[in-house]
Amino acid sequence: MMLARVADSLYWMGRYVERAEHLSRLSSVMLNATLDRADTAVQAAQMARAALGDPEPLSTAQPIDFARALVMDRESEGSVVVSLSHARENARQVRDQITSEIWERLNILYLRVTSPFAERAFDANAPAFLAEAIADLHLFKGATDATMSHGEGWRFMLIGVHTERAQLMGRLLKVCFHEAHSAIEDDHTTLVSLLRMACALEPYLRAYTADLNAASILQFLLFDEEFPRSIRFCTSRIENHLDHLTRGRVVGKVDPARIAGRLNARLAYADIEEIEASGAGRLLDAVEAGCSAINAAVNETFVSYPLELRLPA
């Protein structure tokens, strides 16, 4: 049993932390790409940008500005700093529910990226700045795993993390694999960038060796059951957590566990050949819609349910 508002805050804390990590990684990969060739950098930036829903083309000079805005812009809802502020705001809401270790991890990172010295540090060495931020977020997740009871609150937080992750990965894949035979297929550097953005380069190599090809990458990022950033992995975690949470409880018309189960099954039984033939667009649309539906169903079932339905008779 926990407060509905608290569950909601933990869920959103998970989402924002995941978002901050993803945005940091996209920026980091983009900047790394500039070390290679200008056109790959632009292509990587394009990919990141499209994955964030902004299809405007970029010129060669822009990746660093784009990255800075993506990370440091306090006015923009979709920046790392703002995501971290939201995550911390949610953590503050549930300060009594999370351990000091978890709180302090997030608080340190927040204080660092919002300090008056942050801009300077970013400009001096953006890749190091981002690497630090990502490492801190991993420490945060580690502290969560190691110090927080793996009970209800922890599950809500992880549902947030995995829902957000599935959505963000879905968007990234959609940019690259919406249609069959997309343009990135033969560009080795772009494929590497994509794997890096998904934090998947090393695990992919272990699974498929250095044979980089679009079909294997898509299969890995969509369906791998062990890689924590594959969409299949996310949906199966969501289903598992929701299973636990709804067990023995009254759920309304919309059962979030059922929605998650359906989405997971769809991924489990997806037809690879069909995807290879006609692109992953439809499946990724289903992932996006499924995640939205889970988000809404979690809210309706656990958070903003109508009071009168739950009052004692």
Site residues (CB under 8 A) for another protein? Answer: 1-7, 89, 92-93, 95-97, 100, 103-104, 107-108, 111-112, 115-118, 121, 124-125, 128-129, 132, 152, 156, 245, 249-250, 302-303, 305-308, 310-312
- Phi-psi category of 181—alpha, beta or left, where left has phi over 0 and alpha has psi -120 to 50? left
Closer by beta carbon to another protein, 110 or else 177: 110
Among residues 55, 57, 38, which one has the least CA distance to residue 189?
38
Least CB distance to another protein at residue 81 (A): 14
Q: Which is nearer to another protein, 67 or 287 (CB)?
A: 67
Shortest Cβ distance from residue 199 to another protein (Å)? 21
What SS3 state is found at 146? helix
- 35 versus 307: smaller Cβ distance to another protein: 307
d(CA 164, CA 104): 23
Our CB check for another protein shows the closer of 243 and 288 to be 243
Query: Residue 84 in contact with residue 110, Cβ under 8 Å?
Result: yes
- Tokens (6 digits) for 272: 């690879």
Reduce the secondary structure of 31-91 to three states and give it as a string. HHHHCCCHHHHHHHHHHHHHHCCCCCCCCCCCHHHHHHHHHHCCCCCCCHHHHHHHHHHHH
Q: Which is nearer to another protein, 108 or 183 (CB)?
A: 108
> In whole angstroms, how close is the CB of 202 to another protein at the nearest point?
23
